[in-house]
Structure 1
Amino acid sequence: MASHLAFKFANSKETPPSPSSTTFQLTTQASTDIWRKPGPPEIQTFNAPILYKSLPLSVFQRARVTVSAPWSTLYDQGGLVFILPESSDGSRKWIKSGIEFYQGEAYVSTVAADRWADWSLVQTGLRGGREVTLEFERSPEEGTLWIYVVDGEKKIPVREVTWILSEGDEKECWVGVYAAKPTESSKGTEPELVVDFKGWELDVV
């Protein structure tokens, strides 16, 4: 476990919790996101609150968390995030996976950004349409990163990302959680999104 590593915030002035914390909450305003899309117009957004631990890429093994919130506005989202703040080509690369509210329903959403970001949605392992447990895990045999939805004793694979762990062992990575609210709330709904996280785990070697 990596309970000795300090938590840090990006895009937030909040005080980070203690290094051993396993339960926390992020609050985000509208017009926040982690997203990158070619144009025209080109879109590059990286202003969502992120709570993370910084470590060498080589020591990362696994991260897990349960995420929940009153999702109600298009693209409301929160979950796990894995970031290379500076990759081999000098750009920022990242993966995020969590709940995202789309077309009036909650989905498990995963986005991986190498040069540009892609996006996938599945509905599996969701509890009450508002909570899910997610896990990022290094595959020692393949050297890739697997993303799982954890449903009881079952781990359901939803994505394999083949490139992010191949950036160089001494590269810095950020592993943590995020919350984002890309869309303005409609009249009568909350102007901000409060996302709860529990059961945080981070394993390193």
Structure 2
Amino acid sequence: MSPSFTISAPPSTDIWRKPPSTSRFNAPTHNLLPSTVPLQSFHSARITLEADWTTRYDQGGLLLHLTNQAGLTDRWVKTGIEFYQDKVFLSTVATLTYSDWSITPPSSNSHTRNKTTIEVRREVDELGSSLWVYELIIGNDGEVVDRQPLREVTWFFAEEDGWEINVSAMAARPAELESVLGEEVLLVKFESAEVAVRT
């Protein structure tokens, strides 16, 4: 388990690819593994995060970044908290060619309005492997008492050969400086980070 740490995200930072021409990958990150590993070895990751979310699109969470030495376009999934319409949402962005985005309100059993625990994990059913994203409900004893499903990313393990994964925490403040409410820099605090890989 990783010790607690904080990521500082200045304005105009994001991880987002939208047609026809937007491609941004300048958000600060904190690696949760010492290096990339083969995608075949990845099993799961989880993290707890919180911040004083004030500005539209403020965000923090897990980033699973896929790269391929054959030169194919990189892919990623990022998931955690995102501030939108003056509310905290649980957000997942999946980027194969371009990014798509889903949001859902936090569970009524979440830690607080500003804090959550997110888990991503490889799951196999009769149709094959997928990446599942969950909000974890943590009891007073620190144990997981429930998993609320947020998203299934069906393509994530579809082409594993040649792909490597980097697992990190990330934070971003996409707003321009003049649109920021409150402090200029977003500070996101992370704790209880875990990554499981198969050797």
Asked whether the two chains share a fold, i.e. TM above 0.5, the reply is yes
Taking only aligned residues, the RMSD between alpha carbons, in angstroms, comes to 1.8
TM-score (norm 2): 0.86
Shift of residue 165 of structure 1? 1.3
**Is the CA contact (8 Å cut-off) linking 2:77 and 2:94 kept in structure 1?**
yes
Residue 101 of structure 2 corresponds to residue 124 of structure 1: no
Cα deviation code 1:71-129 (max 9, x no counterpart): 00110000011111238771010000010000111100111001111111101234321
User: SS of the counterpart of 2:157?
Assistant: helix
Q: Is 1:163 the counterpart of 2:163 in the alignment?
A: no
C-alpha deviations, 1:141-162, integer Å up to 9, x for none?
3311100000121001110111
Q: Is the 8 A contact 1:25 1:196 kept in 2?
A: yes
Instruction: Give 1:198's aligned residue.
Output: 191
- Report the Cα offset of residue 169 of structure 1: 3.9
For the residue of structure 1 that corresponds to 2:90, the secondary structure is strand
Higher strand share: 2
Structure 2 CA distance for partners of 1:131 and 1:201, relative to 1, 3 Å: same
TM-score, normalised relative to structure 1: 0.84
Other-structure match for 1:8: none
Residues 67 and 132 in structure 1, CA contact (< 8 A), matched pair in contact too: yes
Change beyond 3 A, Cα 1:87–1:116: farther
Q: How far, CA to CA, are the matches of 1:188 and 1:160 in structure 2?
A: 33
* Preserved CA contact (<8 Å) 1:79 1:99: yes
Report the AA paired with residue 112 of structure 2. Answer: G
Cα offset, 1:25, TM superposition:
1.1
* In 1, Cα distance between equivalents of 2:91 and 2:132: 14
Q: Structure 1 vs Structure 2: percent identity of aligned residues? A: 39
* Local SS of the residue matching 2:182: coil
Instruction: Tell me the residue number matched to 1:83.
Output: 65
Partner of 2:142: none
* Alpha-carbon contact 1:58-1:170 (below 8 Å) kept: no
What CA distance in whole angstroms lies between the structure 1 residues aligned with 2:137 and 2:71? 37
What letter corresponds to residue 24 of structure 1 in structure 2? F
Alpha carbons 2:4, 2:192 under 8 Å: kept: yes
**Equivalent residues of 1:88, 1:167 under 8 A apart:** no
Task: Tell me: CA distance 1:164–1:89, structure 2 relative to 1, closer, same or farther (3 Å).
Answer: farther
- Tell me the distance in 2 between the aligned counterparts of 1:101 and 1:188: 12
One-letter identity of the residue aligned with 2:86: G
Q: Say how many residue pairs are matched.
A: 184
The corresponding residue for 1:61 is 43
Runs of 4 or more above 6 Å deviation: none
Deviations 1:22-79 (A, max 9, x none): 321111110000001012xx10000001222221111111100001000001100000
Cα pair distance change 1:77/1:149, threshold 3 Å: same
Alpha-carbon distance between aligned partners in 1 of 2:70 and 2:156, rounded to the nearest angstrom: 11
1:32 corresponds in structure 2 to 13
Greater relative contact order: 1 or 2 (C-alpha under 8 angstroms, separation 6 or more)? Answer: 2
Pair 188,96 (structure 1): closer, same or farther in 2 beyond 3 Å: closer
| AA in 2 matched with 1:198 | E
